[in-house]
Structure 1
Amino acid sequence: MSADKSTNQSVEKAVAVLESFSDGQPLRVGDVARAAHITQSTASRLLATLESAGLVERDPLTSLYFLGAELLTLAGVAINENPIHRAGRQIAQDLAFELGLGVNLAVRRGAELVYLCNFEGRRSPKSHTLMGQRVPLHATSIGKSALVGLTSSERRALVLTAYTEFTITEPVALDREAAVIARRGYATEVEEFVLGRASVAAGIVDQRGRVMAAISISGPRTTIDLEHTQDELGRIAIEKADRISSVLGYHGPRAQ
């Protein structure tokens, strides 16, 4: 039992080391030790092991560590095996081309959504990929579209961090927002997570009608112009979400 416990703790520490790079910045051994809450000697040993496996790499000039290329291989396998990605990738890509806006797919993981893929339209370019990034349920349209799958008590357990002055931070306001989303079938967001951005999203459901993921249409606030396009983009988001849900095996009425 003690050997199993030691092995489990080693794995947990190795995971903590990898997660210390989640901000996307190269780190020194001491930085990793502080972020992972382990000793510097343990961090050094684990980094050496992870480096030999290709999961981290080290710049020989600066001695800074960064995530390794082997993770790209594993991430690619995970993405390609994901049923939501398989069902929705082409739909999202075609829609981004048609609208000239960004289109994103994300899957719910607890109190967050994780982006599976994103496509930039000609009117909504990005210099980086969103794949793998996590977003909160309360501050983005793609996150808020999953709110209808939570009870009021589950919503009230969320940490309502303020990202901008427009972020919903009151539980009562979040309940009202969830009711609106359930009624009309789509969620909206205007500068609640990132200033200058806006989006519309609809939930994707599994075979039992439970919201498990979402698709969003996004872009610069002035380009997407939700004041005039919200209803039309909401209708499109619902239609695409329904298509993906159907591929995933759901053939009933949309859950309200």
Structure 2
Amino acid sequence: MEYTVAAVQEALSVLMHVAHAPGLGVTEIARRSGNTKARAFRLLSTLEQAGFVQRGGSETDYVLGPMALVLGLAAQEQVSLARLGRRHLEELGRRFDENVQIRVRDGLASVTIAKWDSSQGVRVHSDVGARRALHAGASGKLLLAFAPAALQAQVLGGELERYTAATPTQRARLERELERVRSQGHAVSRGEVLGGVVAAAVPVLDAHAQVVAALGMSMPESRAPQDLSGIIAALTDSAQRLSRELGWPG
């Protein structure tokens, strides 16, 4: 089944030509991207309105715009997180032999950017790139709890999808849960996304002391201790060390 959108592919091709050769004009961009001049101009105009390209030294050439910089910085931050986080994921994974992952917020969802898989036969499956709503699960709730107020209001004011009977789908309950996360500095989930799965997550901070990721561990309920304080303490220690590597002053 084909899920690609031709216009998006064409626009991304044009954007990459501008990125690799800033200062090109419409005619040359059209030739290199295989578009007509009129088509290339429409694509460039769309990208310009979205802030991904802008006019260069003249009205006829193009360079990257401010949104491309925002995208690049976000990608660089995530790459650094994933690269620096691998050692911490491995340490935690070998110590507990449970799934450990780093998730970041992407709009109204959280996404896995790095993980360590348990070697046990029964384990929780999670793929890099997997997306999930913010209102359910330990990592999602943690990222939502420390998200900007406007985004929290958007999530709380929207439909809260129910995954299991334990999913927090009532606004008042979710608000109390987010306040608890902020107060305790960690989040816990018991069967909120998948029945029979227990998870805990703690924040990873950047140089500005902003929460940029959640470091979490998930496991089958049959292996999860009733008291998760030991797991949370280990996660917190690793998250703080990772945060310092990202520039957090501590």
Q: How does 1:1-256 map to 2 (within 5 A)?
A: 10-11=7-8, 82-123=79-120, 125-126=122-123, 129-158=126-155, 159-225=159-225, 227-228=226-227, 230-252=228-250
2: CA distance between counterparts of 1:137 and 1:124? 28
Query: d(CA) in 1 for partners of 2:103 and 2:219?
Result: 16
Q: 1:233 is matched by which residue type in structure 2? A: I
Q: Give the whole-Å Cα distance in 2 for the aligned partners of 1:79 and 1:118.
A: 18
Aligned residue pairs: how many? 181
Q: Once superposed, which parts of structure 1, at least 4 consecutive aligned residues long, lie more than 3 Å away? A: 12-15, 78-81, 122-129
Gaps of 5+ in 2: 13-74
CA contact (8 A) 2:189 2:198 kept: yes
1:192 offset after TM fit, Å?
0.3
Q: Quick one: percent identity of the two aligned structures? A: 25
Label 1:127 to 1:179 Cα distance change in 2 as closer, same or farther (>3 A). Answer: closer
AA at the equivalent of 1:156: A
Aligned partners of 2:196 and 2:10: how far apart in 1? 38
Measured at CA, do residues 190 and 13 of structure 1 come closer, stay the same or move farther in structure 2, by a change above 3 Å? Answer: farther
Cα deviation digits, residues 97-124 of structure 1 (max 9, x gap): 1111111111211111111122122346
- Map of 1:50 onto structure 2: none
The C-alpha deviation readout for 1:173-213, integer Å capped at 9, x for no partner, is 11111111111111000100011111000111121111111
AA partner of residue 246 (structure 2): L
**3-state DSSP class of the match of 2:112?**
strand
Task: Report the 3-state secondary structure (helix = DSSP H, G, I; strand = E; otherwise coil) of the residue aligned with 1:85.
Answer: helix
Distance in 1 of aligned mates of 2:91 and 2:204: 17
Tell me if the contact between 1:145 and 1:181 (Cα under 8 Å) persists in the aligned partners.
Answer: yes
Give 1:156 shift: 3.2
What's the CA shift string for 1:123-160, capped at 9, x where partnerless? 46559651110112111111111123225553231141
Distance 1:152 1:249 in 2: 25
Larger C-alpha radius of gyration, 1 or 2? 2
| Partner SS, residue 97 of structure 1 | helix
CA-atom RMSD, angstroms? Answer: 2.7
- Cα–Cα, structure 1 residues 161 and 13, in superposed 2: closer, same or farther, change >3 Å? farther
Q: What's the secondary structure of 1:208's corresponding residue? A: coil
Aligned-partner Cα distance in 2 for 1:85–1:197: 24
TM-score normalized by the length of structure 2: 0.65
